């Protein structure tokens, strides 16, 4: 079982290198993360963007631009479209966002004619969170894409996180649908959804995880809290997966983990035909690097199944 981001990287190093296509990777953090991933044998890299700017920024930060294959396209929108096409056409295994607006990146992936979403597909974001005070990785959804998921979307989000858990060799993950309380109330819609999803899992409609909800965050990740409150469900205080009721709760959680708890993260968009790295333009090189590692793991597992 992979319990840290460093261990994730070590596992990926033992897999065949995936082909990473970077759209507009002209900022220092992206170039540093991508060069690190290339040098550590995680990926081979195709950069689509302003060739002159990529070379300049790389040189300024001690990176040899010759380690990348660079396709020169100074126009950001055209570069993004071309990067998506490379992945769509099977010339790349992973797509990565560089110095482009998230809305444009998602729009390119979602394009019905030239994007990466299969019919009836649903994109969601899965984040790995490593916190010094927690003994294993937390798999969190959805911090960046689905604003207010409905019941069906939460089921899909849960399945995506279970898929990631299996890729991390967590064979029977504990999944918790987080709400403000464990009781079901008409004033707390997220509790209804959580209770329904729990029943669905008990009836075999959702497979691969031990699902509990609704449950407060403390009971999901703190054994002492579960003991004090008499919460005796299996896996209490040992969560592998957290499904949040909306993007505000999830986004605040992961930012709190990274800013105040010195946590580290890796995040990808799932539900497309290939893993898509989606990090903030302001995210650190470390976050981008570990996101590439997670994407490479998922791409490698997908290729192995094929």
R_g of the chain, CA atoms, integer Å: 19
Kindly state the average pLDDT of the residues 70-95. 97
- 292 and 221 part of one domain: no
- 260 and 227 part of one domain: yes
CATH of the domain at 23: 3.40.50.10950
- 104 and 12 part of one domain: yes
- 250 and 203 part of one domain: yes
pLDDT number for residue 187: 86
- 198 and 281 part of one domain: no
pLDDT number for residue 306: 45
Q: Which domain holds residue 147?
A: 124-268
- 100 and 138 part of one domain: no
In whole angstroms, what is the distance from residue 137 CA to residue 140 CA?
9
- For 31-61, the pLDDT digits (tens) are 999 999 999 999 999 999 999 999 999 999 9
- 178 and 240 part of one domain: yes
- 233 and 278 part of one domain: no
In whole angstroms, what is the distance from residue 244 CA to residue 253 CA?
9
- 132 and 257 part of one domain: yes
What length does the chain have?
306
Kindly state the average pLDDT of the residues 283-291. 92
Q: What is the 3-state secondary structure (H, E, C) of 70-93?
A: EEECCCHHHHHHHHHHHHHCCCCC
- What strand order describes the sheet that includes 276-277? 69-72, 43-49, 18-23, 94-97, 276-277, 264-270, 124-130, 138-141, 241-243, 174-178, 210-215
Count of beta carbons in the 10 Å neighbourhood of residue 188:
16
Q: Which of 239, 263, 255 is nearest to 143 (CA)?
A: 255
Cis peptide before 46 (omega within 30 of 0): no
pLDDT number for residue 186: 82
Q: What is the 3-state secondary structure (H, E, C) of 120-157?
A: CCCCEEEEEEECCCCCCCEEEECCCCCCCCCHHHHHHH
Residue 105 · residue 97 · CB < 8 Å: yes
Residue 288 · residue 277 · CB < 8 Å: yes
Report the DSSP beta bridge partners of residue 214. Answer: none
Question: How many domains are there within the chain?
Answer: 2
CATH of the domain at 151: 3.40.718.10
**Strands 69-72 and 138-141, bridge-based pairing:** unpaired
Q: Would you call 242 helix, strand, or coil by DSSP?
A: strand
Q: pTM here?
A: 0.94
- 246 and 282 part of one domain: no
- 257 and 292 part of one domain: no
Report the DSSP beta bridge partners of residue 20. Answer: 45, 94
- For 171-216, the pLDDT digits (tens) are 999 999 999 989 998 889 999 999 999 999 999 999 999 999 999 9
Tokens read off for 219: 């009971």
- 155 and 288 part of one domain: no
């Amino acid at each position: 079982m992979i319990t840290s981001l460093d261990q994730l990287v070590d596992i990926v190093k033992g897999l065949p290198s995936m082909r990473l296509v970077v759209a507009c990777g002209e900022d220092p953090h992206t170039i540093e993360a991508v060069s690190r991933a290339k040098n550590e044998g995680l990926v081979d890299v195709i950069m689509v963007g302003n060739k002159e700017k990529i070379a300049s920024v790389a040189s300024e930060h001690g990176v040899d631009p010759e380690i990348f294959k660079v396709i020169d396209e100074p126009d950001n929108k055209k570069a993004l479209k071309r990067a998506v096409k490379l992945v769509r056409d099977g010339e790349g295994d992973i797509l990565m966002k560089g110095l482009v607006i998230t809305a444009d990146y998602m729009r390119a992936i979602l394009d019905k004619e030239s994007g990466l979403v299969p019919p009836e597909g649903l994109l969601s974001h899965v984040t790995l969170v490593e916190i010094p005070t927690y003994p294993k990785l937390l798999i969190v959804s959805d911090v960046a894409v689905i604003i207010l998921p409905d019941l069906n979307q939460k089921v899909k989000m849960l399945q995506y996180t279970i898929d990631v858990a299996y890729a991390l060799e967590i064979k029977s993950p504990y999944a918790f649908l987080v709400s403000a309380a464990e009781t079901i109330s008409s004033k707390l819609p997220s509790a209804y959804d959580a209770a329904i999803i729990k029943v669905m899992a008990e009836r075999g409609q959702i497979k691969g995880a031990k699902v509990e909800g609704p449950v407060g965050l403390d009971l999901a990740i703190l054994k002492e809290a579960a003991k004090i409150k008499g919460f005796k469900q299996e896996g209490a205080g040992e969560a592998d997966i957290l499904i949040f009721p909306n993007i505000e709760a999830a986004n605040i959680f992961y930012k709190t983990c990274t800013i105040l708890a010195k946590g580290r993260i890796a995040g990808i968009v799932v539900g497309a035909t290939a893993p898509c790295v989606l990090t903030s333009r302001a995210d650190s090189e470390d976050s981008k690097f570990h996101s590439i590692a997670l994407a490479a793991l998922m791409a490698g597992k997908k290729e192995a199944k094929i």
